[in-house]
């Protein structure tokens, strides 16, 4: 029986690029929280593309630090601070759920153009590194 959760690395990478395009559209429309959310999703799906290309089953997590650590173990050269991955992971929930934002003590006003650009840049950097590593 075919695994319904199985996807090829090319499908993951295509999804990563789609997420990056969504992040770019969000920043153009000044929706900075969505930019951060889709930046997270870009990194997550890009790293999952890398892992599946190396024969790994997809890890069912949104924690970017865990995903990148696994990819590094199998040779992905990625120069990204763990604290940046942890921070972006936190926003996966905070950008979508007001209770998560309150629990994490993140005011709505936190999501500025500067913050959005920081994470958009990080997402692009990781997406390119992953694509080159496939």
- Whether residue 81 is predicted with pLDDT greater than 80 in this model: the reply is yes
User: 77 lies in a domain?
Assistant: yes
Instruction: Give the domain extent around 125.
Output: 9-133
Quickly state the pLDDT bin for 6 (edges 50, 70, 90): low
| % of the chain at pLDDT higher than 70 | 96
**Mean predicted confidence (pLDDT) in 43-56:** 94
Report the alpha-carbon distance of residue 123 to residue 43 in Å, rounded. Answer: 5
Report the alpha-carbon distance of residue 134 to residue 9 in Å, rounded. Answer: 9
Q: Is 17 exposed, middle or buried (0-12, 13-18, 19+ CB in 10 A)?
A: middle
pLDDT tens per residue, range 115-128: 999 999 999 999 99
User: 3 lies in a domain?
Assistant: no
Least confident residue range of 22-26, 77-81, 89-93, 105-109: 77-81
pLDDT tens per residue, range 22-38: 999 999 999 999 999 99
User: 92 lies in a domain?
Assistant: yes
Structural domain total, the chain: 1
Highest mean pLDDT among 36-40, 79-83, 105-109: 36-40
- Whether residue 4 is predicted with pLDDT greater than 50 in this model: the reply is no
User: 108 lies in a domain?
Assistant: yes
User: 17 lies in a domain?
Assistant: yes
Alpha-carbon dihedral sign for residues 105, 110, 114, 119? positive
62: nearest Cα among 25, 94, 32: 94
Tell me the CATH number at 99: 1.20.120.330
- pLDDT computed for residue 78 by the predictor: 85
- pLDDT computed for residue 1 by the predictor: 47
User: 109 lies in a domain?
Assistant: yes
Question: Cα-atom radius of gyration of the chain, to the nearest Å?
Answer: 15
């Amino acid at each position: 029986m075919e695994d319904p959760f199985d996807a090829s690395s090319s499908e993951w990478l295509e999804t990563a690029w789609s997420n990056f395009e969504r992040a770019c559209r969000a920043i153009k429309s000044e929706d900075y929280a969505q930019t951060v959310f889709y930046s997270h999703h870009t990194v997550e799906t890009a790293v999952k593309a890398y892992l599946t290309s190396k024969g790994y089953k997809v890890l069912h997590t949104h924690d970017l630090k865990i995903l990148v650590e696994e990819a590094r173990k199998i040779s992905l050269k990625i120069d990204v601070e763990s604290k940046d991955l942890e921070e972006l992971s936190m926003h996966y929930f905070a950008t979508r759920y007001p209770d998560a934002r309150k629990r994490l003590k993140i005011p709505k006003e936190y999501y500025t153009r500067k913050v959005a650009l920081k994470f958009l840049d990080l997402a692009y950097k990781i997406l390119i590194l992953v694509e080159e590593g496939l």
